[in-house]
Chain A
Amino acid sequence: MANATIASPTATTISGRRYGSVSRDRRWALRWSYFFLVLFAIFFLTPPVYMFITSLKTSAEISAESNPWWVYSPTLANYIELLTQNTYLTFFRNSAIVAVLTVIITMAISVIAAFALARMKFWGSATLATGVFLTYLVPETLLFIPLFKMFAWFNETFDIQLMNHWWTLIILYPTLTVPFCTWIMIGYFASIPKELDEAALIDGATWIQTLTKIFIPVALPGIIAATIFCFTVAWAQFLYPLAFTTSTTELVLPVGIVTTLIKGDVFNWGQIMTGALLGAAPPLIIYAFLMDYYIAGLTAGATKG
């Protein structure tokens, strides 16, 4: 399965060429495909486009009873204001650090653990693999109050305050990312032929060497997919930062935008939309570059799980 997926780009090129040259039947199918794709693209892109339109408006124009789909007096004021505001840049920086560190920690934990669970089998490893999946079923809405209590105990015992610090999120986010990433990686590792590591072991490689020299390179698409997944989750998380951080110096982007640009019953729509668009940019860029790996990696891992 994994091989088939990895090899798929070639397969498509071949079939694509064939599709292009066939009968009128196919050409009609192609036209219909484009037609529906355009329809779906409109559905998928309307909100972001509307966000963009709104981000170019002044607050007076947003409040006006004019055509909401048109900008009569475009302005970059919202962008300028946000990008020169230190609070917003702080959110951006916090988000970036939290997301990157979460990715590193998650990948370290889950790749190593997935290798152990997929290849090395120890007492209880099967149970653990299922357990990892089950943690995915525990909603975070259930966890944050017990976590408050645990943090209180931690503060009393070690005198280290975990509340209201952005780095606390680096401890918390892996709980959301590690189960899925481990699970994907178990699936991916399982699809690697056994002969490969057996040969390596017989040649005298250690388990660690087998992992770093053989498994990681072969499973790279899976690792990249898991990394992207992890980054997306860490970048978009909302409830944990909302519950655990308060000061403007500690907030991350989505929560920062919602809590500083909406005040009481007054919404600052232009800036909210601007902030949201700017906040969506990093994951968009990552996807644009790494999409192929993402697709290949996710499917191979998930089907084998």
Chain B
Amino acid sequence: MVSRKVSRRRFVASTAAASTALVAAPFVRGAYAAGKLSLGLWDHWVPGANKATEDVIKAWADKEKVEVTLDFITSQGNKLLLTTAAEAQAKSGHDILAFSTWLPARYSEQLVSMNDVVEPLIKQNGAVNGTVEYLGKVGGKWLAVPATVGSQMKGPCSRIDLMKQLAGIDVQAMYPAGSPPKADAWTLDAFLKAAEACQKGGHAFGIGLGTTSDSVDTAGAIFHSFGAVLVDAKGDITVKNDKVRQALEYYKKLIAFLPEDAPAWDDASNNKWLVSGKGALIMNPPSAWAVAKRDAPKVAEQCWTHGFPSGPAGRFGPFLPFFWGTWSFSKNQSAAKSLLTAMSQPEAAEKMVIASGGYDLPSFEKLTTFKTWAEESPPKGTLYHYPNPHNHQTLSIAAAPAPHKIAEQIYTQGIQTQMAVRFAKGETMDKTLDWAAKEIEGFMRN
């Protein structure tokens, strides 16, 4: 064991690019019992973004004299999900682990309560949005700390030029950088018209209809915009109601203007659609724009990230938070909590946001107006509206407000997108609703 650690340290010393780093103090005499802490964090796709987190953690580790091991784990191929499942089943693993959207609730019984961390943070940094609270707090217990790193919005990212030429919409005027949106006309109907115009002009909107999260998030927001709820908060199935029917009718019209292979798109497909210059709009956090900035600068210059169109029930934007949590079998919970508090300080959050080029979104209200978002370019201000600075839209997650264990399955199995595709492909409304009701019935298992 000892020799392994030495070789590891040497390995780290020899490479600056190594994503596993041992941020260690040679003498362990900290205030914390074991003096050791291991973290499994989400591997950021932005080159160098892990570094900011590493720095924050290293500063804390030096101060507290704790030996910290860091693993950055990709979410690709469900690696992070598998790691989480493995640690939950094997009852051993990282002291702090990044939990994606639904996982805190899934493992609620195995996670340490974070009330003593999150409640002071809310006092300090402002309230969290409803989605974060729904996902992170169950039965009055905060299961995990809302993370800055990896939390994201999936609103529209439009091509300024194409939207103007083909659809006659000036997204910059609608969502001016540095000031509140003037987007009253930006409704689902306007969105549909724009989708049609762009498709006819050869630049269809790139909205996936698969079962991965980008597709599901968009469907979730559109369903919310119609007030369409599949399962209510009490756990009753409410599939067969007019709002769901309206949402499906709308989706059917929209699907006619989407690329025909959209039902199999994954989370990378829409990015490529935008970067290749084929699409006029996608629903994605700014990663697609950032890749375009690197590989297709001409496309990037025309990208504008903005708010979601509004529907009869309001304006909803998909928000996908990450959390940092600690297993109940972790041997060093007090140190973990101290570190999590340090990682959630405004300065730490700002460092992370800057390093991620504005991609990461802190969940706390007072942390949505960092300079980065206003300054990122090209074009300048393209990310200004990304963190929803004017509370213009309700941040939402698909399948809410159903009880978590049901909602999670509706989400991961993409029931909403599947309903939309089924109906759009010519299945009758009743059949689609029956199918969905039956699927969801299957999720009620305990």
Q: Which A residues have a C-beta under 8 Å from some C-beta of B?
A: 59-60, 62-65, 85-87, 90, 145, 148-149, 151-152, 155-156, 161, 163-164, 242-244, 246-249, 255, 258-260, 262-267
Given contact pairs A65-B277, A259-B77, A264-B45, A246 touches B40 in the complex (Cβ within 8 A): yes
Q: Please, which residues of chain A bring their CB within 8 A of the CB of B77?
A: 242, 258-259, 262
- Residues of B near A246 (CB, < 8 A) are 40, 71, 73, 79, 83
Give the residue of A145, A247, A265 whose beta carbon is less than 8 angstroms from that of B214.
Answer: A265
Asked if B85 is an interface residue, CB under 8 A from chain A, the answer is: yes
Chain B residues touching A, range:
35 or more
- A151, A156, A161, A266 — which one has the most chain B CB atoms within 10 A of its CB? A266
Instruction: Note all chain A residues with C-beta closer than 8 A to B74.
Output: 259-260, 262-264
Which of B14, B20, B75, B275 is within 8 Å of A248, CB to CB?
B20
- Whether A266 contacts B296 by the Cβ 8 Å rule is no
Q: How long is the Cα–Cα vector from A60 to B291 in the complex, in angstroms?
A: 9
A271 to chain B, nearest CB (A): 12
What are the residues of chain A within 8 A of B90 when measuring CB–CB?
Answer: 148-149, 151-152, 155, 163
Q: How would residues 66 to 81 of chain B score, 1 for a CB under 8 Å from any chain A CB and 0 otherwise?
A: 0000011111110100
B interface residues, Cβ below 8 angstroms from A: 8, 11, 14-15, 17-20, 40, 43-45, 71-77, 79, 82-83, 85-87, 89-93, 214, 267-268, 270-272, 275-277, 284, 287-288, 291-292, 294-296
Report yes or no: B85 in contact with A148, Cβ–Cβ below 8 A: yes
**Cα distance, A242 to B149, chains bound together (Å):** 23
Residues A148 and B296 in contact in the complex (CB < 8 Å), given A87-B18, A265-B268: no
B76 touching A258 by the CB < 8 A rule? yes
Determine the chain A residues whose CB is within 8 A of the CB of B295 once the complex forms.
59-60, 62-64
Q: What would 30 A/B residue contacts be, using CB atoms closer than 8 Å?
A: A60-B294, A63-B272, A63-B275, A63-B276, A63-B291, A86-B17, A148-B85, A148-B89, A151-B90, A155-B90, A161-B92, A163-B86, A242-B77, A242-B82, A244-B86, A246-B40, A246-B71, A246-B83, A248-B20, A248-B71, A258-B76, A259-B43, A260-B74, A262-B76, A263-B44, A263-B76, A265-B45, A266-B268, A266-B291, A267-B268
Q: Are B82 and A263 in contact (CB under 8 A)?
A: no
How many pairs, one residue from A and one from B, have CB atoms within 8 Å of each other in the complex? 116
Q: Which of B74, B271, B287 has the most CB of A within 10 A?
A: B74
Q: Which 6 A-B pairs have the closest CB atoms?
A: A263-B45, A148-B89, A63-B295, A264-B45, A86-B15, A265-B267
Does A264 contact B86, Cβ atoms closer than 8 Å? no
Q: Closest residue of chain A to B45, judged by CB?
A: A263
CA distance A164 to B284 in the complex (A): 33
Contacts of A248 in B (CB 8 A): 18-20, 71-72
Besides the known contacts A64-B295, A156-B91, A247-B71, 11 further A-B residue pairs in the complex with CB atoms under 8 A apart:
A86-B11, A163-B87, A163-B90, A249-B11, A255-B79, A258-B76, A259-B77, A263-B43, A264-B75, A265-B287, A266-B268
**Does the CB pair B18–A86 fall under 8 Å?**
yes
B14 and A86: CB pair below 8 A? yes
Give min CB distance, B12 to chain A, whole Å. 9
Looking at A59, A62, A156, A249, which has the most chain B CB atoms within 10 Å of its CB?
A: A249
- By beta carbon, the residue of chain A nearest B297 is A60
Let me know if B40 and A152 touch, CB within 8 A.
no
Q: How far is the CB of A34 from chain B (nearest CB, A)?
A: 37
Tell which of B270, B275, B287 touches A264, judged by Cβ atoms closer than 8 Å: B287
